[in-house]
């Protein structure tokens, strides 16, 4: 792996993807929570359809988590080096996720209690489920308090499962990378089997928001990590050429757009849609992540734009805050009716909350974890490197 600036650049490109994912989910929710939005599928114009499909951005977070968190284990598997400490991994994950999650949850609960809305406010006795990321497993708490938190429940389940999955790859070692890839592909098969069983049995919302339903999406990011680490070990860290990078980027983005078109032109779906829709998006994002993490050239340089990289750095807070703030403002009549002014207001207040959370909650926790690992005072650069591991 190239030292110094090259590593920072790749992190900036991944931050750019993370920023686009968070902004697209925000745009979807601003569109969704409008009283005057088109309710019927046939009534949507092109903009409505684009904003509805923007929700696909949340899949990028799963793919990024798979890639970022599996890199160290993949590197150990292909080189024979010592794997990451599971204890250190757990500490870093806890420091990265828990402080902002609990702060946001407490503030949102108090906001709802004082100014509303109360329709999604959980009862006090239900809060322990949120505290341990178990809200997805009860219909009484699913999509309550802060509806976007359903993805964090799945993320936390993945964090627990990841070291166990990595054991298989580490056991296979450097000489059986193809078998290692087969193990990860089998996880995609788990998700396909889960989708097929749900399609036949109509399992309902709870099984659709559990780890088996999304482990394949994480696995595609893990496959990218395995491929790039294998390639770097064999080619002394050489980057992908600009032409290969562009090919991966173009095909990746085309897959994401094509799935949106498929969804909009065949809304009733069918077995093929049930099986492959979100996995098609995940594959597209996996190719884009591969280009951003291992490539070079103009097809990924734009992802390193300063405003995108900065937004990506605070994207966890942006993701946490945007929907509850939108709901509070909407319930109190503080949002413009027109779509674009509404979008700007929600974006502005969400960015402010995200920046504050990064500065006073996330970054201190990240620096603490970095100091604990390195045995020395962390810096902003070190914090940013650790932050690159977030989903």
Secondary structure (DSSP) of 24-75: HHHHHHHHHT-TTS--SGGG--HHHHHHHHGGGHHHHHHHHHHHHHHHHHHH
- pLDDT score, position 333: 96
Q: Report DSSP letters for 328-345, one per residue.
A: HHHHTT-S-SSHHHHHHH
Q: Quick check: 110 and 121 in contact, CB under 8 A?
A: no
- The answer to whether residues 357 and 103 touch, using CB atoms and an 8 Å cutoff, is yes
Check residue 148 and give its pLDDT: 98
Query: Tell me, what's the pLDDT at 38?
Result: 76
Q: Which pTM was predicted?
A: 0.93
pLDDT score, position 238: 76
Are 16 and 309 in contact by the 8 Å Cβ rule? The answer is yes
Q: Which range of residues forms the domain containing residue 85?
A: 5-387
Q: Is the dihedral of CA 180, 183, 184, 185 positive or negative?
A: positive
User: In the structure encoding, which two tokens stand for residue 103, read together?
Assistant: 């702060």
Q: How far apart are CA 255 and CA 351, in angstroms?
A: 29
pLDDT at 41: 67
Q: Per the structure block, which two tokens stand in for 147?
A: 């509806």
Q: Which two tokens stand for residue 350?
A: 């969400």
pLDDT of residue 275: 95
Q: How high is the pLDDT of residue 8? A: 41
Report the alpha-carbon distance of residue 63 to residue 82 in Å, rounded.
24
Reading the chain (391 residues) residue by residue, the pLDDT tens digits are 333 333 444 479 999 999 999 999 999 999 999 988 877 766 788 999 999 999 999 999 999 999 999 999 999 999 999 999 999 999 999 999 999 999 999 999 999 999 999 999 999 999 999 999 999 999 999 999 999 999 999 999 999 999 999 999 999 999 999 999 999 999 999 999 999 999 999 999 999 999 999 999 999 999 999 999 999 998 776 789 999 999 999 999 999 999 999 988 887 778 999 999 999 999 999 999 999 999 999 999 999 999 999 999 999 999 999 999 999 999 999 999 999 999 999 999 999 999 999 999 999 999 998 887 776 444 445 444 544 443 3
Cβ pair 121, 145 in contact under 8 A = yes
Cα–Cα distance, 311 to 14 (Å, whole number): 11
Q: Are 6 and 232 in contact (CB under 8 A)?
A: no
CB atoms within 10 A of CB 90: 13
CA distance 331 to 315: 24
Q: How many domains does the chain have?
A: 1
The residue whose two tokens read 């990590």 is: 225
- Alpha helices, DSSP H, located in the chain: 5-32, 46-53, 57-79, 86-115, 127-131, 149-172, 177-201, 205-208, 215-235, 242-265, 271-294, 298-301, 306-313, 315-331, 339-357, 363-374, 380-387
Return the sign of the alpha-carbon dihedral for residues 259, 262, 268, 273: negative
């Amino acid at each position: 792996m190239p030292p110094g600036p090259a590593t920072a650049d790749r992190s900036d490109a991944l931050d750019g993807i993370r920023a686009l994912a968070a902004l697209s989910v925000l745009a979807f929710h601003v569109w969704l929570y409008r009283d005057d939005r088109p309710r019927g599928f046939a009534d949507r114009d092109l903009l409505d359809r684009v904003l509805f499909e923007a929700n696909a951005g949340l899949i990028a977070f799963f793919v990024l988590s798979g890639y970022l968190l599996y890199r160290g284990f993949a590197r150990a598997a292909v080189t024979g080096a010592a794997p990451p400490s599971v204890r250190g991994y757990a500490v870093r994950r806890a420091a990265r996720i828990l402080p902002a999650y609990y702060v946001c949850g407490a503030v949102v609960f108090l906001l709802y209690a004082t100014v509303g809305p109360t329709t999604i406010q959980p009862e006090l006795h239900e809060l322990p489920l949120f505290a341990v990321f178990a809200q997805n497993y009860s219909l009484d708490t699913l999509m309550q308090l802060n509806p976007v938190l359903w993805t964090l429940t799945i993320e936390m389940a993945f964090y627990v499962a990841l070291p166990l999955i990595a054991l298989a790859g580490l056991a296979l070692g450097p000489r059986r990378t193809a078998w290692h890839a087969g193990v990860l592909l089998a996880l995609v098969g788990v998700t396909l089997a889960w989708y097929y069983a749900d399609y036949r049995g109509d399992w309902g919302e709870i099984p659709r928001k559990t780890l088996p339903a999304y482990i394949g999406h994480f696995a595609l990011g893990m496959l990218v990590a395995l491929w790039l680490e294998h390639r770097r070990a064999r080619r002394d860290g050489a980057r992908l050429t600009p032409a290969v990078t562009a090919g991966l980027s173009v095909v990746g983005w085309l897959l994401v757009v094509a799935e949106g078109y498929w969804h909009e032109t065949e809304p009733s779906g069918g077995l093929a849609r049930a099986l492959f829709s979100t996995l098609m998006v995940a594959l597209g994002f996996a190719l884009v992540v591969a280009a951003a993490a291992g490539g070079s050239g103009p097809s990924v340089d734009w992802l390193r734009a300063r405003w995108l990289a900065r937004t990506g750095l605070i994207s966890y807070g942006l993701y946490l805050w945007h929907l509850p703030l939108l709901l509070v403002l909407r319930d109190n009549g503080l949002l413009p009716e027109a779509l674009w002014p509404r979008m700007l207001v929600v974006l502005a207040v969400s960015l402010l909350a995200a920046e504050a959370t990064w500065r006073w909650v996330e970054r201190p926790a990240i620096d603490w974890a970095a100091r604990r690992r390195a045995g020395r005072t962390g810096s902003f650069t070190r914090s940013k490197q650790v932050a690159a591991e977030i989903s």
